[in-house]
Structure 1
Amino acid sequence: MPDGPAYRRLDVDERRAQLVALGERLFTSAAYSELSMARIAKEAGISKALLYHYFPSKQAYFEATLQAAAEDLVARTRPDPSLPPAQQLERSLDAYLGWIGEHAEAYAKLMITAGEVPEIRAMVEDVRGATAERLMAGVVGAGTPVPPGARTAVRGWLWFMDGACLDWIEHDDLTRDEVRGLLIGTLVGALMASGSGELVAALMAAA
């Protein structure tokens, strides 16, 4: 006979981490609208009441899984300020594409859910805005005003990047290097079209 039970009680942080990991799999394999808290609890092997103890709603649960993925992505793509802007951009984009390659289904589902759920769309927009600010700070310097045309070009480019990555996931007929080159080229083109040639020069300096 064993001396104790065959299971052990998980602490709060460990249980929550397991649920967040499960969430990435569930929200990848099923549409957001198809999942219920009852189904999630069943998949997790816990009561619905316990699931609500950790997450007050399905949206809160989805946001937690998204936040975990976003933190991982930010850590991977954080620029190295010791490098010239062009190298910072190239390395960050390469890390971003590497992350998408590892989480292709989750990324595609996120884009679909962002179109269905206004709150999730707002979160994605916040991430885009923060990414644009971080990118421009690397080019013009933190705290330096960004010309309106350049701001619009970069924000529009981030939408293009999502579309290009979704196409890459769907067709898988370009290499990662080719996609990265395409993204850099379209950013340069967008900045040039906005009349921000001086920013392009700064971005490509010592490339």
Structure 2
Amino acid sequence: MSMQYISEILPSLFQGAALTLQIFFWTLVGSLPLGILVSLGLTSKIKPLKWILEIYVWLMRGTPLLLQLIFVFYGLPIIGIVFERYDAALVAFILNYAAYFAEIFRGGFQSVDQGQFEAARVLRLSYWQTLRKIIIPQVIKIVIPSIGNEVINLVKDSSLVYVIGLGDLLRAGNVATSRDVTLVPLMLVGLIYLILVGICTLILRQVEKCYAYFK
């Protein structure tokens, strides 16, 4: 393993890692709020809305993310809906992870004592004030471990964007491996993924500490 060779391929790997991080970041930004909204719809008393959202969650969780990526990029143009590669990846990832987060948040909402909603009504808090100031902070405390698992999965799942031709970290490693006939690039790719997962784990632990007062 030559250090000179490593220094030559690292720029392309870092460039791929930058795209991986972009997809990771924007997926979280889009899917977490959407997951909360869908979870509220799943617990809604409006049956048509609840049924539609249940079907959406069933489809997203019941089919592989890889298949969803292919469908969004290659399938939707058949009916006139066309996305650029990067946008198609974000749409597929956000819709997929929002479904998983929705089920996690739904479980969190159902674990909060209903008496707290009644107490909030006595205090004349609106529904949205109750959610924002009382319920959601407790739900976040409950769901952090499950959310953490999905966040770590997202770091690794981002490698699936290679199927629609995006130059992410894994694709950069595969290109270097095929060109130079060596496994060194893939070993470096694995190391970078481990570092990214390690950073996410540390951040999640700090978030857990921030919500520790809800014990």
Q: TM-score, normalised by structure 1?
A: 0.30
Give the number of the structure with larger relative contact order, counting CA–CA contacts within 8 Å between residues 6 or more apart: 2
**More helix per residue:** 2
